[in-house]
Chains A and B, each alone.
Chain A
Amino acid sequence: MLTAVVLAALLAGVWLAATYRENGSRAILLPDQVMTLFPAPKPLAAFAFKDHEDRVFDLSRLRGKWSFLFFGYTHCPDICPTTLATLARAHENIAKSAAGAKDVQFVFISVDPNRDTAGELRQYVTYFDTAFLGVTGDDAQLGNLAAQLGAAYQLAITPGMENYPVYHTAAVFLVDPRARYHAVFAPSLDAEGISRRFEVLRELEGPKAT
């Protein structure tokens, strides 16, 4: 008798948990102001950057991992350090989740290759998170990937002006392990807002996306 009651309670608990999780998942993945999820992820075309270790960073480096991409520049005092600190916390959260962060990478794309050398990028991104990658390329390659993601940037280089203004999209782009543009997180960003949505998305898309 007691066993039956315990068993029933256990089953009810499992069912409730499953229902809750499913509903929770659906609710959290409804379009919202934080994450825009594309029903048909867009395969990215070839591009070529160099990473902060001077290795080639191209489309192949996006395969097999979920990649969070952010455009910026190291001389940026407000938006870039704020976003990278947020992404570092999101990374921490994801690392603590059941599925971990082994299949996740964070890539800072500098739109200011004149000033952001590989060495500067290494110092910069690893300050926020030792696992972060810094990459950059020439204007054609930056423009290529930016256009594919619907991102934009503009450098107002003025001769003799040390701190020229740079404009860039402040969103964080999510590319899935098949190198498809899958989702975008709109500013202003917070770590939990990103990591919670990502964890649900990865669980739902996991087998399809890899």
Chain B
Amino acid sequence: MRWRHTVFASLILALAPIAAATDEAGVSVRDAWVREAPPGVSTMAGYMVLQNKTSRPQVLVAASSSGFETVMIHRSIAKQGMTGMEHTPQIELLPNASLLFAPGGYHLMLLNPKRRLHAGDRVEIALEFRGGLVVPVAYEVRK
């Protein structure tokens, strides 16, 4: 029976780092996409559904990508009957809270793509949270 214990212990040892990693990376990102830009346009927007699956509040403080010159967290807002954008320095996600990045609201503003992105392409953007958690996400380019 001794070998069984050994296997079991090894399994636990092997799983431990995975469990820790899951807890650390417990911010899930679904439906991540970037709208394809019309020709000649170098400002794009990225959208997604973020969910904090950890037991602590998570604060999104930045996003970065080698695919773009600049990535900023923006929000489309209404102001005196007009719509515009404002830079959002940070967004706090409470435990289990979901946050929608969608047209007309929060979005990742993507400036000057390094290469022209076409529908079907994928581009990676890293979401950075306070405390050092970085979640890399592949965004699908859609028309």
Contact = CB atoms under 8 A, between A and B. Distances in A.
A74 B76 contact: no
Contacts of B38: 74, 81, 123-124, 127-128
Interface in B53-112: 74, 76, 78-85, 103-104, 107, 109-111
A47 B123 CA distance: 44
Contact of B104 (A79, A120, A152, A168): A79
B84 A167 contact: yes
Interface residues of B, number: 26
A152 B103 contact: no
Interface in A111-135: 120, 123-124, 127-128
A128 B37 CA distance: 10
Interface residues of A, number: 25
B120 to A, nearest CB: 16
Q: Is the interface of B mostly helix, strand, loop or mixed?
A: strand
B79 A167 contact: yes
Contact of B82 (A76, A128, A153): A153
Contact of A127 (B39, B74, B76, B111): B39
B43 A169 contact: no
B118 interface: no
Contacts of B35: 77, 81-82
A170 interface: yes
Contacts of A75: 41-43
Contacts of B42: 75
B123 to A, nearest CB: 14
B40 interface: yes
B40 A152 contact: no
A75, A82, A168 pick with most chain B CB within 10 angstroms:
A82
Interface of A: 74-79, 81-82, 120, 123-124, 127-128, 152-154, 163, 165-170, 187-188
